[in-house]
Amino acid sequence: MAYYPEPVARLIDALQRLPGIGPKTAQRLTFFLLKRPFDEVRELSEALVAVKERIVQCRTCFNVTDEDPCRICADPVRDTGLLCIVEEPNDMLAMERTGEFRGRYHVLGGALSPLDGIGPDDLKVRELLARLDAGRTREVILATNPNVEGEATALYLAKLLRPLGVRITRIARGLPVGGDLEYADQVTLSKALEGRREIG
């Protein structure tokens, strides 16, 4: 990148370290930023720094937060007997958007993955056991992704938590709302059949 001025080359180099961004996209973003008003670019740079300076992990649930404990863990109205296990903070936000769940969360920080060598020691499993040891939890909801890694994590946690005597449930799997049965694959359809419920 010797033909770029040094600050431009630095920004391209920094941007292409982001996931899903290759050299071409990094170059396009850099030249887009060069054309934007100074204030807008300053706002972006300040937002980036603020995220690193002010955001921490909640020491209870491992969600990302600007106050520790996070708002959900500190909320006295939340049901402390319900604990929903998710892989990442984004999954927690997706659950919150439903407005249906009034319990608390535990963010594992990933999922078990034999091909990536991610085992229980790489997740917040010990911390989960310590939370459950306090004895207030009635039900643990395993809300990991419905893929191989998420299923393996749910299976592992179910085995690990069974001796603790809490109720362990798994979120339902099956057809997406608005989907066509005709286009569903056999795995999804069989999961939907397995999880059928009485109606009326």
Would you tell me which residues interact with other proteins (CB under 8 A)?
A: 20, 112-121, 125, 146-148, 151-152, 155-156, 159-160, 162-163, 176, 178-179, 183-188, 190
CA distance 29 to 85: 36
Report in angstroms how near the CB of residue 124 gets to other proteins at its nearest: 13
- Of 129, 155, 132, 133, nearest in space to 142 by CA: 155
Report in angstroms how near the CB of residue 172 gets to other proteins at its nearest: 14
Backbone φ/ψ region at 77: left (φ over 0), alpha (ψ -120 to 50), beta: alpha
Rank residues 25 and 80 by Cβ distance to other proteins and give the closer one.
25
Report in angstroms how near the CB of residue 183 gets to other proteins at its nearest: 7
Rank residues 98 and 186 by Cβ distance to other proteins and give the closer one.
186
Rank residues 50 and 148 by Cβ distance to other proteins and give the closer one.
148
Q: Which two tokens stand for residue 133?
A: 């040891």
Q: How many residues does the chain have?
A: 200
Backbone angles phi and psi of 48, in degrees to 5? -65, -45
Report in angstroms how near the CB of residue 133 gets to other proteins at its nearest: 16
Q: Which two tokens stand for residue 27?
A: 């170059």
Rank residues 61 and 123 by Cβ distance to other proteins and give the closer one.
123
Report in angstroms how near the CB of residue 125 gets to other proteins at its nearest: 8
Q: Which two tokens stand for residue 40?
A: 């807008």
Cα atoms found within 13 Å of the Cα of residue 164, Cβ hemisphere only: 21
Rank residues 104 and 149 by Cβ distance to other proteins and give the closer one.
149
